[in-house]
Structure 1
């Protein structure tokens, strides 16, 4: 609830301490007031003061001779600003245009602004003193006694007490209560706060003040506003009657918040108000009887700014989050959500931080989903293309999400990690979460948990992993419940390294009974001894390994006679060596160092027949292949000791990898300007070990008979301070014109967060038959489905005029001649608000990147995000779409807040 501050005059009377030693009495101030030369000439009088109990005894006495000209203070009172500030608001007084800011101030200027609020600097010795510990210094054009305890200062009055400064046309200082009343062109300044007013009352001890017809400025929060009456507590909490505030620049009023009673507390970074109205361009657009809102980074319980959006299959989507700051180390956000075409929903997030654990728990619940209302689907239903059940498969169902993230063991040898997310159905994220293309192409949700201990030489870890499909036709992965690893590493004398790795995993599958899948347990042991010799001019690393693989398979779905405890042990040897050469040169007047780095990697692995793992099952997956796949070939694979990911196979190999890298390094900065590498593998024997022996693996088997690999090359370059170029290409060694796979990208991101991305990727993949039984008279397939991937991606965020930026992306599939995603939009970002308007078209299908024969659904939408700086945003899905689709956008978004 909002805290109602009592009237200031009553508060001042309660706050006064009658027995306090009068260090700051107004009458004592008058003893140091400068007297104008004209007055001195006429009266030839001087003040004489001496302590008298709890007060000062002062009177005027004639002085012989001419009036004494008072010397200046040893520390002259600072000036609060020229009198040209008369009639200006607090924001106008301290506003400094962008061209007048120092480099440091310019770096701290809020994004989109053309200036910043800068308080005048003070260099005097009392500038940082607490007012209660500092003397009160005064200046005025004239002064007089109104009563025995009241002094009146008139004309350009300036009062300074420590870090507090006051200006006014007239001031009355009451000696008894140590309070002051001021009028006319009042300016009150404290660190981080500036208030202007026409009438004010102030407690000179505590700094509590009441000001009428006021304008105010909070520098750090970048907030300004006005009020018929402002009450300021000693803690600088402002209570505004009939007040307003905004983060806009002094000459802008794009939005403002108005309230009958508004409280701003910069100490906790929060404000709250009663009968709050949001004005946009001066027009009221939103009302709430009560609202809490942030004005800084501090956490405080209360309603957060609501979010509203609209979509084709959900209708109007309204969320009103409520934040609970339960304790310094944990909090919760509850978000009631109404989706007009689906129903009521509740989302929550609980965050907890302790000495050893950081935990986030998320949950969401939608009861009895109404299913949405998509007009395109309704047309298909009317045409009889699909049924209503097919169009709305989750209508009438409860839909939910549960997520847990935890990191444990901060600065400790033991550690834990949990990354668990579960949803009610495969379309949860597409229907109720974000609609980005990245989420649409995610096929599995990983549910992972681990706990372990890091010793000096050993790492002990226990893991559990499970997956949830997000595509109906995706292949469900095996569970790993549990996986136990024990890895040892020793650095021995004479630079010998000993690696002792142990891995035990139990594999299970939720569909094992339905599909007759093989399950069981696997033990993998890898021991390695390496002599690691490194010098400035090169390195030499010979090593020997022993790899052991054994299983205990459940025989329920094994073929008759299949071995349920296959076991394999394979010795291996390797030699990794390279040289470093350098030469200095000069290019376009810039010195550089060029390196020449040849590298050889020889690897030998004995062949042990592992056919006992292939075609031994009775179900859909007949091969023992729990977590293993062929690695995609590239330059980084030249120097690996396995061509497989996972642990279900041990290589047979006899090969030599040759690589060459050259780098160009700027001599003055040490920045690597260019790096280029090329290499190839030469095989001395055919490879017999494979994951599968089905027809689909025929090409892979042929690949294992080659005597050399494709050429692999990669290039990275810094073409300027902000421009990056990267490329990786693989091409056929027997046909240099035939590119097997490649990608190239050009990325630009500068300090002004201008973005330009251009990329292209190609992957040659053999086509799939549309129907293997459909052959013509020559035994040739009538139709094939092209699988090769050839895509281009272009995106940008670029200023077009003033604070306007253009946003765009085009992701095109050249293989099937179709658009994967196209969006174009504009962004307006100034000092107080930001608007993004994006029109988007995309293929809403998880397999859109691969198969042409699928019935792909093309979605269109217009997305709007309206963000009030310092308040909140409407339509936050736009940020997710742009962050997923445009490389560098998330970095830009974080940088311009």
Structure 2
């Protein structure tokens, strides 16, 4: 086989090398192909080691065994191995006859006969030609390859990609340059050989790997052999690079009728692009949406706009604008901008079907901020306002807010300085100066002090002392335009950590004491309330130094919080598997600083994600609840006359990486009733199996209401594969107290080897923007997504809805 050494040059750049992978496929057949396409059914795969049917398929393509020497090497770094029945060399021409097999690293060439001309560097193969690489195989009757650059052609060619499942046939495949392929009279599909649900037929297909684009001419799409689409010219991608072109349209149906959108993408430059989406809404008219993105070395921007002229139903112009920016000027300076505004409060209800959750947003953020952080200092300047969407009073605007905080070095038994300053100018559309009802002005908050810590393996003890000062410069219209107050704060936080071996776990027992003294200063009732509210009471709140968010009140307290927690750590991994905690605060004197009209018994919440039936008002203390009463948040910590807090508990269990459970509960100190509880369970299995369950219960006191209601809600969701081809999606959020479904979602998907269809039905309560009531209407939407694997899909909204509605869901 001396003549084979002359083939080395010819094999350095094979015909389809740009399509090849650099690693072997993990699934390899133990013997030769079962048919020309190397397709194995599910039954036949049982004989193949480490092989299973592809998702949605009843089989898969399996590469032939690669047992020759150096099969894992790249062709240009491997020696040549070959064999033939006989060879002949005449001048510059080498000829091989009968069962020609040539291996060069990952590349394998097979043919009945072969010849190589050393002068022209031309390589000819005929009689059952096969070119095999790890992730693909090309067969044909005859092939001609130029050994200098790998250009050439194959006649009567077949192509299969083992991993993606792409199959193609062509009368001729030509490689005119190292980066181009031309297919004549081509057939293309991603369906298995025994079930060609769809196929593309084209007169010519040109693939350019330098630009990442392909062009086909005279293209026909056939479904079950029936032509359903024809185009004289199509432009499509051959890799994941961005390119200008028409994207797949989206289809949806809701209470507003049929909704069709056809996006067109403009790849304007490597660092900016634009997507324009004409949208037809059956009941409302024609709409145009646009999204632009821009990226430079300092920041990334995104602009989103939409416009609907003269809505047929609302009889007004509808529009949306959204601007977002995230920037990093250097390691110290960063910026962020968020500006979102819509033409009217019912915009999302009427015009958005991509996410019903968006429709329940109560406000839109409009802010811009500049941040600075060094090793010792952190500062922020922000201007912020909101567009209110729930029919409630507009919120305060920050024009602007400035904060500065010192970040001390944590060293045991070394005093650490404490310094925090915050200055905020609050404005309001309905302010007193203009004859309105809202106080406006500038609030200044300053705290300074010292902290002395000791933190070790056996526990910690941290002493803190600081002085807090709060002052205002209020606009005209109030009795006192410059109220101010100063109060001292001192705390001592001490904990011990005991450890013991508990089988395969290391258990800790951690008693903790937290003494807190906040001095009382009278007269704070005259201070305005700009952005302060009461924190929700829970186990972690026991060890915080304030029961308020914001700086409008300097709370008073003299208390001792007692807590006991225990954790179990896996000795092998060090991961915390179980943690339990229980605690209570004991008050040595009555607390006198409260928020206006604050009467709480239990645990109303300010978390809008937990109270879908409530409307949260940013910058205020309370929220409105069905029944036209005012409920306040915070738990038993808000009571003025009490000797102790409720009993707070916390538990979290993580059995393994796929399964965890958490529970937080607050028990009434007098009658042991559950004032507040939240249970959560999450499980993630293989193949997108996902379960979530949550239960929330909250008691609260309603001002001027005889009956004290409870909020009780269930939230369950699941993603459940059924076999290899079916998949179910579901979510149910239910208000037990008011006996109504807040949101319901059900979806089903079917996936075969070459196509996928998913449909989703979603229903949610539609908020009443004038007054909350029990007679709310339901908003409904039906989404449909259809995909031909290897070509693309119809619809792109369903995945976003699933990821938003089902916690932990990721589309794979």
Query: When the two structures are superposed, what TM-score results if normalisation uses the length of structure 1?
Result: 0.77
Q: In the alignment, what sits opposite 2:786?
A: 866
Q: In the alignment, what sits opposite 1:72?
A: none
Q: In the alignment, what sits opposite 2:379?
A: 460
Q: In the alignment, what sits opposite 2:686?
A: 751
Q: Spell out, residue by residue over 1:57-105, the C-alpha distance to the aligned partner (whole angstroms, 9 max, x if none).
A: xxxxxxxxxxxxxxxxxxxxxxx9999549603x6499998767777x9
Matched, 1:335 2:277: yes
Output aligned runs, 1:870-881, within 5 Å: 870-881=790-801
Change (3 A) 1:756 1:269: farther
Matched, 1:224 2:160: no
Q: Would you say the 8 A contact 1:547–1:570 is kept in 2?
A: yes
Q: In the alignment, what sits opposite 1:582?
A: 499
Q: Would you say the 8 A contact 1:406–1:419 is kept in 2?
A: no
Change (3 A) 1:420 1:832: farther
Q: In the alignment, what sits opposite 1:801?
A: 723
Output aligned runs, 1:17-96, within 5 Å: 29=3, 84-85=32-33, 88-89=36-37, 92=39
- CA–CA separation in structure 1 for the residues paired with 2:72 and 2:507: 56
Q: Spell out, residue by residue over 1:826-857, the C-alpha distance to the aligned partner (whole angstroms, 9 max, x if none).
A: 22234543322233333222689x95x34311
SS in 2 for 1:856: coil
Q: In the alignment, what sits opposite 1:886?
A: 806
SS in 2 for 1:532: strand
Q: In the alignment, what sits opposite 1:525?
A: 446
Structure 2 stretches lacking a partner, 5+ long = 8-27, 600-629
Change (3 A) 1:567 1:284: farther
Shift of residue 524, structure 1, vs aligned partner:
0.8
Return 235-244 or 454-463, whichever deviates more. Answer: 235-244
Matched, 1:479 2:397: yes
- CA–CA separation in structure 1 for the residues paired with 2:555 and 2:217: 72
Output aligned runs, 1:200-599, within 5 Å: 200-218=143-161, 222-235=165-178, 237-249=180-192, 251-265=194-208, 270-324=213-267, 326-327=269-270, 329-357=271-299, 359-371=300-312, 392-393=313-314, 395-409=315-329, 412-471=331-390, 473-491=391-409, 494-512=413-431, 513=434, 515-555=436-476, 557-558=477-478, 562-586=479-503, 591-599=504-512
Q: In the alignment, what sits opposite 2:586?
A: 682
Matched, 1:139 2:59: no
- CA–CA separation in structure 2 for the residues paired with 1:203 and 1:234: 10
Alignment root-mean-square deviation, CA? 3.5
- CA–CA separation in structure 2 for the residues paired with 1:263 and 1:100: 39
- CA–CA separation in structure 2 for the residues paired with 1:610 and 1:297: 65
Output aligned runs, 1:717-732, within 5 Å: 717-732=653-668
Change (3 A) 1:477 1:98: farther
Q: Would you say the 8 A contact 1:96–1:115 is kept in 2?
A: no
Matched, 1:708 2:654: no
How many residue pairs are counted as aligned between the two chains?
757
Shift of residue 551, structure 1, vs aligned partner:
0.8
Q: Spell out, residue by residue over 1:498-521, the C-alpha distance to the aligned partner (whole angstroms, 9 max, x if none).
A: 121111111112333474311111
Matched, 1:761 2:696: yes
Return 190-199 or 602-611, whichever deviates more. Answer: 190-199
Shift of residue 886, structure 1, vs aligned partner:
1.6
Q: In the alignment, what sits opposite 1:165?
A: 108
Shift of residue 787, structure 1, vs aligned partner:
5.2
Indicate the structure whose relative CO is greater, using CA pairs within 8 Å and at least 6 residues apart. 2
Shift of residue 487, structure 1, vs aligned partner:
1.2
Q: In the alignment, what sits opposite 1:182?
A: 125
Q: Would you say the 8 A contact 1:97–1:116 is kept in 2?
A: no
Q: Would you say the 8 A contact 2:215–2:234 is kept in 1?
A: yes
Change (3 A) 1:291 1:857: farther
- CA–CA separation in structure 1 for the residues paired with 2:116 and 2:238: 35
SS in 1 for 2:750: strand
- CA–CA separation in structure 1 for the residues paired with 2:755 and 2:308: 36
The structure in which a higher percent of residues are helix is 1
Change (3 A) 1:792 1:188: same
Q: Would you say the 8 A contact 1:136–1:159 is kept in 2?
A: yes
Shift of residue 164, structure 1, vs aligned partner:
4.3
Structure with greater Cα Rg: 1
Q: Would you say the 8 A contact 1:94–1:119 is kept in 2?
A: no
Q: Would you say the 8 A contact 2:324–2:336 is kept in 1?
A: no
Q: Would you say the 8 A contact 1:221–1:296 is kept in 2?
A: no
Matched, 1:842 2:764: yes
Q: In the alignment, what sits opposite 1:69?
A: none
Q: Would you say the 8 A contact 2:154–2:172 is kept in 1?
A: yes
Return 830-839 or 597-606, whichever deviates more. Answer: 830-839
SS in 2 for 1:490: coil
- CA–CA separation in structure 2 for the residues paired with 1:81 and 1:579: 61
Change (3 A) 1:97 1:434: farther
